[in-house]
Amino acid sequence: MSRRDGAEPGLPAVDLRTRALDLTELMDDPDCDPRALARTFRRFALVNALVSGWRAVWRTHVVPALPVNGRGRVLDLGCGGGDLARAIARWAASDGFDVEVVGVDPDARAIQAANRRAPHGVTFRQRSSGDLVAAGERFDVVVSNHVLHHLGDQERSGFLADSEALASGRSLHSDIRRSPEAYRAYALASPLVAAGTFVRVDGLRSIRRSFTLAELRDTLPDGWRAERAAPHRVLAIHDA
């Protein structure tokens, strides 16, 4: 990656060679505008549906890890506004599975947003992964979206250890794969959906904080593997 690879009109050149760990997201500021935050949670549901590729990952990586009787529990760790948990419940129902989905996030504002729409079969709770481990909870499949890039090294180690402890089947954490192409595509497309939200700034910062496939491989503990998923995605996977 060259230094100016991420440059595009209206944006300063950015260095995508290494993870930009100094960047924080606007929505993480506890004093950010609550109305803009509520809009951001709703709008990220749309962005996630467009970019995160979970529909395919559900079929290829979640379904095979569910119990053969078709009944199971799926946990979405760091659920934010809850869109992935809701989508999994929808796909499970339409594919004939009887799945209970739990979404947790330690951020009360996220759980408040998620609870505005908690359809049958989906529960949202204000908890961290560590809270669930302490409570002795177990799930067939533990997933997350866009959490790995968000965490510092120590937090991520704890998060992955918690995920292993919580999953009786598979842990599956999906995130952005950092690249100039991902950055440029998001910089060009995000203005279409970003008005009145933090979606553009936080999305671009998230891309800059995210891993390449090689970086994720190097950082995962023993027993985990990293896979590339198209387009612009990585998966961290652990099978119990």
Ligand X SMILES: C[S@@+](CC[C@H](N)C(=O)[O-])C[C@H]1O[C@@H](n2cnc3c(N)ncnc32)[C@H](O)[C@@H]1O
Q: What is the contact surface with ligand X in residues (CB under 6 A)?
A: 44, 48, 77-80, 104-107, 110, 128-129, 145-147, 150, 159
Q: How far is the CB of 198 from ligand X (least distance, A)?
A: 11
CB count within 10 Å of CB 155 equals: 13
Q: How far is the CB of 3 from ligand X (least distance, A)?
A: 26
Q: Whole-angstrom Cα distance, residue 239 to residue 106?
A: 25
Q: How far is the CB of 2 from ligand X (least distance, A)?
A: 27
Q: Whole-angstrom Cα distance, residue 229 to residue 114?
A: 26
Q: Which is nearer to ligand X, 76 or 140 (CB)?
A: 76
Q: How far is the CB of 68 from ligand X (least distance, A)?
A: 28
**Three state DSSP letters for 108-164:** HHHHHHHHCCCCCCEEEECCCHHHHHHCCCCEEEEEEECCHHHCCHHHHHHHHHHHH
Q: Which is nearer to ligand X, 70 or 119 (CB)?
A: 119
